[in-house]
Structure 1
Amino acid sequence: MRVGICKFFIWALLISCLVFPSLEFDPEDNYLINCGSSVNTPLDHRVFLADVSNFSSFLSTPQNISAVANSDSIPSATYGLALYQTARIFNGSSQYNFSIKKQGRHWIRLHLFPFLNPSFNLSTAKFSVSAQNFTLLKDFQPSSAPTVKEYLLNITTKTLVLNFIPAANSIAFLNAFEVTSIPDELIPADVATIGSSGQHQNLETRALETVVRVNMGNEAVLPKNDSLGRLWLSDSGYLTSNHNLVLFLSNVGLVNFTTAGMSENIGPSLVYGTGTELYTALEDRNILNATWQFQVDPGFDYFIRFHFCNILNASDPNRNNLFFTMYLNSEFAAKDVNLSTVGVPQYIDVVTSVNSIGQLNVSLGSSNAFNSFPDGILNGLEVIKISDSGGSLAAADARVQEKSSATSSKSKVWVFVGSAVGVSIFIMVVVLVFALFCRRRRRAIVVHTTLEQFAANGASFVVNKSPAADSSLISESKRGYRFPFVVVREATDNFSESLIIGVGGFGKVYKGVLSDGTKVAVKRGVSESRQGLSEFKTEIEMLSQVRHRHLVSLIGYCDERNEMIIIYEFMENGTLKDHLYGSDHPKLNWRQRLEICIGSARGLHYLHTGSVKAIIHRDVKSANILLDENLLAKVADFGISKSGPELDQTHVSTVVKGSFGYLDPEYLTTQQLTDKSDVYSFGVVMIEILCGRPVIDPSQPRERVNLVEWAIQCLNRGELEIIVDPHIASEVKPDSLMKFKETVEKCLADLGANRPTMGDVLWNLESAFQLQVGDPRDKNQEQTNSQKLDVSISSTGQFSLGSFGDLEGVSMRRVFSNMIKAENAIDQHQQDAI
């Protein structure tokens, strides 16, 4: 046995000497194994050894089982085709044991493909893989295509054990694998976390998994052209912004690693020598944005590496002042990146967290620093998952650990209490606690009843606060909306999971019922919420000063015990998004969609014009338009809303916030916010309503992934009928559709100055509605017209006239009557205040 092992190492050493002289990095540990194969397999400049004749001494498995693929069962275009023609089968717990010469970071690459075989159905395999104390895969089920799972482990022992554990009544398999040491310079010890104050993520104690490695410039880089055998995919499949707004570049000869003081181990010259650049035609210089979208597992932190190199035309004087900005999910990742020196490669590392959406958007935008040319370039990108605190890279495993940990902690508490307290004392304590609870519950009911009576009489009330609440950010004028925590807890049955009706970035939303039977929606923030106290305050301040039938009403809030809870009126039919796609709700007809558009536009128009300073929503999307039991639309979620510019200003300069797919490109690149940003976002919502599909849908063909880009392309080609939702295609009247289409195009204009106001949008939508329903004397049409004039009174006593829309069929007597009623209401309001 020992003689065989020695022969194997000598042979492997000789092969390494023959293979790696041409490479910049010569790994001390370099295991390349073709599983189930009886012959060695050359691949580019490497050789994968056959495990059948040379490697069985390193494998501990119940049975020595290998399999060979059926002929023609593997796609011929597969890179490394020979590695996927055989496999090692594990029908029980199995381990590979490797001797490690140099401690430190190592690649572990698993090659997996469930090929066809008469004896084994690999497509039904389900198994877990672990190494050291890390879980790499948990209950993994292979895809139908060849897959490489790449991991980075910091190995601190002299032996690496790789475990394969099949699930019950299943098998595990492996086609090939690599265990290779990597340069120390490749991964830093710790990296700064964006969106935090000086926090760093320690990477030395964590396992890493490569999610995607991308080469910009619409070119892939194969492992044979990388000193560390890495595969870099082309970025074109991940671009979600309009391809007409970017240029693909290639100028490998300009790359100078010597000047940069770094080696090609960080990234090959083919990566730094190609790139994707923002389009800089004169007419588009203020509309600069390129976005790439990646699907990732939610709940993990991710290590992101940006690769930059200025490979633009050095003779152009504008290139000597090149600054730009990178964003990750609308947060600054790298601000004012300086690439003024041509040909020098550089990289920037950051760590970011991904919430429940499971989507990572990377955006390249121009910068205003130092009067720089409005340009930008990205050459490469790496997205790498970081293991959680339990050492797992599997999302399902992390959830199980959290649940079992909570159960374990609870058990320990009960054991401690049971052992520390005698039976008689325990019974007395229970009786006392029960009595106090009943007393508090009766007091809470009394307080709640009093609270509702005060509210019904139009009076304000202040509930005594706990000491912790003294630091509340909510102004004294808003105290009348404050609810005791015990009332909120009772309304939601102690925040029962069965009452959850939604989950967002702020936290969970529960359906609740107050003691008088009033249904409410209760949004409870979490301590890890990325919105935080400032958004909590903003939403309450905004909602407490606006009242409109097309804006969701604020019922109250609670800030006791460090809670951030907002209580709204309950909207029976949920979100507009749910009625368009992704749920089993009945599909909306065209008339209903138009009415929802009109209602939403009225709400936004009121925000923009209903007070001295406009309120800009900043997060207009279909998920933030709610529908009541009659499908009446109301705009919701004011957490990131912003007061508009002063009368002598044209915009508000602010950090970009919003939802990708809906963000105004002008706002994204200039950080200059106006009410026209809401108009752009509303135009995106109108496209959703017309097409009945998500704004970003990775399951679609590449040219259709971004709904707005695809829809605009179809409109430009005169192919309007292609994008219309099939559920409404037969009922839409051509004139109504054309009016709607014209409105959408105006809303989505690249420049805010070319977009209409929300009042203009509302006028056009009402025209589209009239063109659809026909005779304005129709009873339903008459009812709609009677709602065209909205007169709203805010808490400050101001009133606002909504859009008159198309005045045809509207009685002017009713208009003046409403105005007189509004004035009387204001007079009464002022008298009450006196």
Structure 2
Amino acid sequence: MMGFVGLKLLFIGVVFFLCLSSCYSQFNPADKYSIDCGSPSNTTIGNRVFLSDSLASSFLSTPQNVLVDTSANSIPSSEYSPLYKTARIFTQTSTYTFRITQSGRHWIRLYFFPFSASNYNLTTAVFSVSTPDHSLLSDFKAESVQTKEYSVNVTSGDLEITFTPTGSSFAFLNGLEVVSVPDPLIPDDAMSVNPPTNFKGMLNKALETLARVNMGGPVVTSRNDSLWRSWVTDLSYSKNRNFESNVSNPTAVRYPPDGATQDDAPVSVYGTAATMASENDPKANFNVTWEFPVDRGFQYLVRLHFCDIVSTSANTLYFNVYIDDSNVLPDYDLSTKFGGSLAMASYSDFVTQSLNKNQIRISIGPSSIKDVNPNAILNGVEIMKLSNSDGSLSGGNIPSSNSSSKKSIGLIIGVVVGVLVAILAGVIFFCVYKKRKQEQLNQSKIWIPLSTNGISQTMGSKYSNGTTISAGSNFNYRCPFAAIQEATNNFDESWVIGIGGFGKVYKGVLSDGTKVAVKRGNPKSQQGLAEFQTEIEMLSQFRHRHLVSLIGYCDEKSEMILIYEYMENGTLKSHLYGSGFPSMSWKQRLEICIGAARGLHYLHTGYSKAVIHRDVKSANILLDENLMAKVADFGLSKTGPEIDQTHVSTAVKGSFGYLDPEYFRRQQLTEKSDVYSFGVVLFEVLCARPVIDPSLPREMVNLAEWAMKWQKKGQLEQIIDVTLKGKIRADSLRKFGETAEKCLSDFGVDRPSMGDVLWNLEYVLQLQEAVLQNDPDENSTNVIGELSPVIHDFNRGGDGGGDGAAQFEMSSGDDISGVSMSKVFSQLVKSEGR
């Protein structure tokens, strides 16, 4: 009897062992290289051995061997701490060459710790890293401990990794790994986000890992991952921890035959999850949201890991999953995916469009299906950047290979091309001559930023006194690249004050001490080139105290650089929420709105044809040291319709949440599209919250819709910024709400002009500072339109005689921003002024 029991227990043990072993990866990488750079001996981390620098020197071609180390006391504490004690320095272009025995995807992991050695301060190193087909890092400067992980598809027999110092600087590396990746890990296709179509071609892309997160669980080190990956917690990405609840049930996790494997994510990831903190409240209605920083101008692979470890029965957990504002998995039920089984590990892949912002937002929330308890679940997130059409993950150029075979191929190609060029020389010369003539003609139309006295000159620096050339009637500020380098401390990353779709914005100081903002674009970006030209064309036409001034530009060395006046207090958005600035008073906010309205009114009326901004938002309203508002960022601007036209037909562009719905529906652009966007800004100023916030209950997500509901109920005071409670006069708030409401009319024809908006905001300020006496229209709900004087020549009045309105006529193209608009307005609203 005892023998039977013993056999039974042995059988159960064997079955358990087989089941357990089936959960773990059997993947054995064909290629596995690990190097502890600069180390005189091998280093063991977990079950991996990192070769000493001397043993790995056969992989490296470098003109000079420079090895450095640091004090043990300065090494950061982590599982990779031993790698950070030493480093290899590259004073010239150097290449690692690894023999690849099996083609396919390979991890490239680069370990950096910028310590200070006796002869080298690694914090000052600036360099690029590339493979023959991909630029991995461009002008990289390590400022802290970093691990850069890439996945590249190797089709040839060798993988070359080249380190190229920038200028007179040097490169360094603490550790390096090249490891084969299981073929199924990264498929060729995924679901595209907005529109939801099938994306193919992943195999041709290089990937960079930007985030790998264990949602609701602890850190998972590489020692507990079958592919030596590290998973961090979601704490730093969570938007509101109070909305999130964490669960753990690793023993429930199962890896189905047609689902995820241990190579996709370990049990420690699938066995923990973030869920809604709904506490079984059947009325709970909110999303749990995380935001992940990314680089603009790239597409991203977003992998979402799921395992239902919370349900006790099938078909009880339905939820929605959002990437940014797209519901990518509506009414998602994990049990249905696996025939009613629970706790099955799985993942879903999505590819975004090329992003014009620096973050990806992921949210989970309740389904709209009735009679289902509101809850949602997410176990893990991976976000990987996809290389662009140039094969770059950095935006930089790919340095040419040092391979002699490739040089030979290049020489052969060069000879062939030379022969062809010789044969076709006459034709090519004629075509190029015509093309250059046309380009010169086009350039003469573009480079005319600042018009004054008929002289064109470049800006001087310690490198150049500037040059002066004739330029008709234009004063052309073309700034030498060396002067901009000097002004920005060679584009010091610590001087970055903003990142936009066009590029990074640096604080700069010119040789005369003038502070400037330097916007550096990507020369290879077609979108960037269009924005570059548009900014110069637009800002060269206008000079107004409520528009950010263009000081100069640079187009040397394929650079696209714009130089603006420096705005000390940054964006209006940063003063409203999210940045910790002191709360602004209602008067300050009104004055900022009035200044921005003046700038937009000038755009719409100050030239022969209206200029439509197309991207009006609080982030594009900048504040100087006195909090005076100036409208900025004209990269999307468009000239308005001709006199005999009502609109401009154009592709829809703008920022989500601010976009005119009529423009979106009909793709017909007018000045009233700017008015709609400005109406959203007005509510943003009043409520001090983002225009789109998926972390809020559903009816509150869209600020414009939410605020309009309260405005129409006459209860706008219920949703204003808490710091303004009791500080706004009732009439001032009422008129402000009416103005914003009219701006947000569904149809452009029902919206006021920016001139009307400007006058009404002046009225709002008047009402706030002192209630007007004996004004029959004080309680009017239709001041917009009544307070819209015909403006022609402001300086014509003078002696106080004649009709009151006529005293304030002015040219619509004049800059009236220096005039006291309150005084003008007070004359217009009094009965004798009408």
**TM-score normalised by L of structure 1:** 0.56
**More displaced 10-residue stretch of structure 1: 204-213 or 226-235:** 204-213
Write out aligned runs for 1:405-804 (5 A).
419-420=429-430, 512=538, 576-577=572-573, 591-593=587-589, 622-623=618-619, 658-659=656-657, 685-686=685-686, 688=688, 759-761=714-716
The separation in 2 between residues aligned to 1:132 and 1:356, in whole angstroms, is 28
Report the residue type matching 1:761 in the other structure.
Answer: L
Query: How does 1:325-474 map onto structure 2 within 5 Å?
Result: 325-340=320-335, 341-369=341-369, 372-397=372-397, 419-420=429-430
Q: SS of the residue aligned with 1:363?
A: strand
Q: Who is 1:26 aligned against?
A: 28
Query: Alpha-carbon deviation of 1:258?
Result: 3.7
Corresponding position of 2:777: 815
How far apart, CA to CA, are the structure 1 residues paired with 2:545 and 2:684?
Answer: 31
Which residue of structure 1 aligns with residue 268 of structure 2? 270
Q: Decide whether aligned partners of structure 1 residues 130 and 817 sit closer, same or farther in structure 2, where only a CA change above 3 A counts.
A: closer
- The 1:285–1:131 alpha-carbon spacing in structure 2 relative to 1, beyond 3 Å, is farther
Contact 2:687/2:721 (CA < 8 Å) preserved in 1?
no
In structure 2, the CA distance between the partners of 1:114 and 1:594, relative to structure 1 (3 Å rule), is same
Look up the equivalent residue of 1:308 and give its one-letter code: F
Q: Does the 8 Å contact 2:571/2:620 carry over to 1?
A: yes
Matched, 1:214 2:213: yes
Q: Is 1:301 matched up with 2:299? A: yes
Gaps of at least 5 residues in structure 1 are 1-20, 401-410, 439-491, 523-572, 602-618, 640-656, 661-677, 697-705, 710-744, 826-834
Counterpart in the other structure of 1:253: 251
Offset of residue 821 of structure 1: 10
Matching residue of 1:116 = 116
State the distance in 1 between where 2:782 and 2:188 align.
71
Higher helix share: 1
Matched, 1:42 2:37: no
C-alpha spacing 1:821/1:96, structure 2 compared with 1 (3 Å)? closer
Alignment partner, residue 68 of structure 1: 69
C-alpha separation between the residues in 2 aligned to 1:767 and 1:39? Answer: 62
Distance 1:151-1:574 versus aligned 2 partners, 3 A rule: closer
Q: CA deviation at 1:62?
A: 1.4
Q: Which residue of 2 aligns with 1:312?
A: 310
Contact 1:70 1:115 in 2 (8 A): no
Match of 1:51, SS state, is coil
What code does the residue aligned with 2:136 have?
L
Q: Deviations over 1:53-74 (max 9, x none)?
A: x222222211222222123111
Q: Is the 1:290–1:364 contact (alpha carbons within 8 Å) kept by the matching residues of 2?
A: yes
Which letter does structure 2 place at the counterpart of 1:334?
Answer: L
Task: Report the alpha carbon displacement of residue 593 of structure 1 after superposing the two structures with TM.
Answer: 2.3
Distance change >3 Å, CA 158–CA 787, structure 1 → 2: closer
Equivalent residues of 1:23, 1:227 under 8 A apart:
yes
Q: Are 2:179 and 1:180 equivalent residues in the alignment?
A: yes
Q: 1:682 deviation in Å?
A: 7.3
User: One-letter code of the match for 1:208?
Assistant: L
Q: Distance in 2 between matches of 1:343 and 1:266?
A: 15
Gaps of 5+ in 2: 1-22, 336-340, 401-420, 446-473, 480-499, 503-526, 549-568, 598-614, 638-654, 659-677, 788-834
**Residue 357 of structure 2 aligns to which amino acid in structure 1?**
I
Q: Letter of the aligned partner of 1:359 in structure 2? A: Q
How far residue 376 of structure 1 moved from its aligned partner, in angstroms, is: 0.8
Residue type of the alignment partner of 1:69? T
Q: CA deviation at 1:625?
A: 7.7
Cα distance change, pair 788–351 in 1 and its aligned pair in 2 (3 A)? closer
Amino acid at match of 1:243: R
CA contact (8 A) 1:193 1:352 kept: yes
Per-residue deviation, 1:372: 3.8
* Superposition deviation, residue 592 in structure 1: 2.2
Partner of 1:51: 53
Percent identical: 34
How far apart are the structure 1 equivalents of 2:257 and 2:25?
20
Deviation at 1:769, TM superposition (A): 8.4
CA distance in 2, matches of 1:192, 1:687: 37
1:503/1:63 Cα in 2 relative to 1: closer, same or farther (>3 Å)? closer
**In structure 2, what is the Cα distance between the partners aligned to 1:599 and 1:173?**
50
Residues 190-199 or 764-773, more deviating: 764-773
Structure 1 residue 311, shift from structure 2 partner: 0.7
The DSSP-based 3-state class of the residue aligned with 1:303 is strand
- Asked whether the 8 Å contact 1:279–1:288 carries over to 2, the reply is no
Distance 1:113 1:225 in 2: 23
Aligned length: 579
Distance change (3 Å), C-alpha of 1:620 and 1:332: farther
- Structure 1 residues 658, 757: closer, same or farther in 2, change over 3 A? farther
Task: Report the CA distance between 1:24 and its aligned residue.
Answer: 2.8
With over 3 angstroms needed to count, the CA separation of the structure-2 counterparts of 1:184 and 1:763, relative to structure 1, is: closer
Shift of the alpha carbon at 1:216? 0.3
Residue 33 of structure 2 aligns to a residue in which SS? strand
- Aligned partners of 1:282, 1:172: CA distance in 2, in Å? 55
Q: How many angstroms does 1:389 deviate by? A: 1.2
Cα pair distance change 1:244/1:757, threshold 3 Å? farther
Query: Does structure 1 retain, via aligned residues, the 8 Å contact 2:291–2:359?
Result: yes
Deviations 1:347-389 (A, max 9, x none): 0011103433211111112222475432110100100011111
Per the normalisation by structure 2, the TM-score is: 0.56
Q: Do the aligned residues in 1 keep the contact of 2:299 with 2:386 (CA within 8 Å)?
A: yes
Question: Contact 1:70/1:116 (CA < 8 Å) preserved in 2?
Answer: no
Structure 1 residues 766 and 197: alpha-carbon distance in aligned structure 2, compared to 1, 3 A threshold: closer
How far does the alpha carbon of each residue in 1:721-757 deviate from its partner, in whole angstroms, 9 at most, with x for none? xxxxxxxxxxxxxxxxxxxxxxxx9x99x99999675
Correspondence for 1:244: 242
SS class of match (2:301):
strand
Deviation at 1:275, TM superposition (A): 0.8
**Residues 332 and 278 (structure 1), Cα distance of their counterparts in 2 relative to 1, 3 Å cut:** same
* Rounded Cα–Cα distance in structure 2 between residues aligned with 1:770 and 1:587: 12
| Aligned match of 2:318 | 323
Q: Secondary structure at the match of 1:759?
A: coil
Q: Distance in 1 between matches of 2:138 and 2:158?
A: 23
Alpha-carbon offset, residue 787 of structure 1: 9.1
**Counterpart amino acid of 1:269?**
V
- Is the CA contact (8 Å cut-off) linking 1:223 and 1:229 kept in structure 2? yes
Q: 1:415 to 1:372 in 2, by over 3 A?
A: farther
Determine the structure 2 residue equivalent to 1:534. none
Distance change in 2, residues 1:34/1:356 (3 Å): same
Q: For the Cα contact (< 8 Å) 1:260–1:344, is it kept in 2?
A: no
Residues 29-72 of structure 1: per-residue CA shift (max 9 Å, x gap): 111111122222111122212131x2222222112222221231
Q: Would you say the 8 A contact 1:620–1:682 is kept in 2? A: no
Give the letter for the 1:333 counterpart. V
* Alignment partners' CA distance in 2, 1:587 and 1:807: 19
Q: Secondary structure at the match of 1:200?
A: strand
Letter in 1 for 2:714: G
Contact kept, 8 Å, 2:707 with 2:719, in 1: the verdict is no
Residue 807 (structure 1) shift: 14
Q: 1:72 to 1:597 in 2, by over 3 A?
A: same
Question: Residue type matched to 2:776 in 1?
Answer: R
CA–CA distance in 2 between the matches of 1:330 and 1:148? 30
Check the 8 A contact 2:130/2:399 in 1, yes or no: no
Q: 2:100 is matched with which residue?
A: 100
> Cα distance, 1:339 vs. partner?
1.7
Provide the rounded CA distance (Å) in 2 between the counterparts of 1:171 and 1:294. Answer: 31
